[in-house]
Amino acid sequence: MGASALPVIAFTLLWGIVLFLGVALPLFVPKGPNRGILQVLLVLTGFTCWLFWLCCYMAQMNPLIGPKLDNVTILVMAREWVRKKNIKDISILLSI
């Protein structure tokens, strides 16, 4: 399973638009006491959502944690796979 650049580009553009709107839209709003807060809110929302999405996407590409199996379980699985696939040498499966 390889990583595709298309989702990264698409979601970077999506959250980049939110970030841009956070900077650009408040410029057209009349000055008020909450204008700066709105601008910071939209910029931080765009950046943090993009960062969260990127971390989740990358974690799915290269998971750090795999299943933890006992040696007995691994041997039983290898024996069953040998029966189903007609593999003659079980050491091939155990060397993986």
Domain locations in the chain as residue ranges? 1-64, 65-95
Task: Render pLDDT for 55-84 as a digit per residue (tens, 0 to 9).
Answer: 888 888 777 777 788 888 888 888 887 776
pLDDT at 89 exceeding the cut of 70: no
User: In this predicted structure, what is the pLDDT of residue 96?
Assistant: 56
pLDDT band per the 50, 70, 90 thresholds, residue 2: low
| Average pLDDT of the chain to the nearest whole number | 78
Listed as own residue / partner, the contacts of 12-15 with beta carbons closer than 8 Å and 24 or more positions apart are 12/50, 15/46, 15/47, 15/49, 15/50, 15/53
CB-count exposure of residue 21 (10 Å: 0-12, 13-18, 19+): middle
Q: Is pTM beyond 0.85 here?
A: no
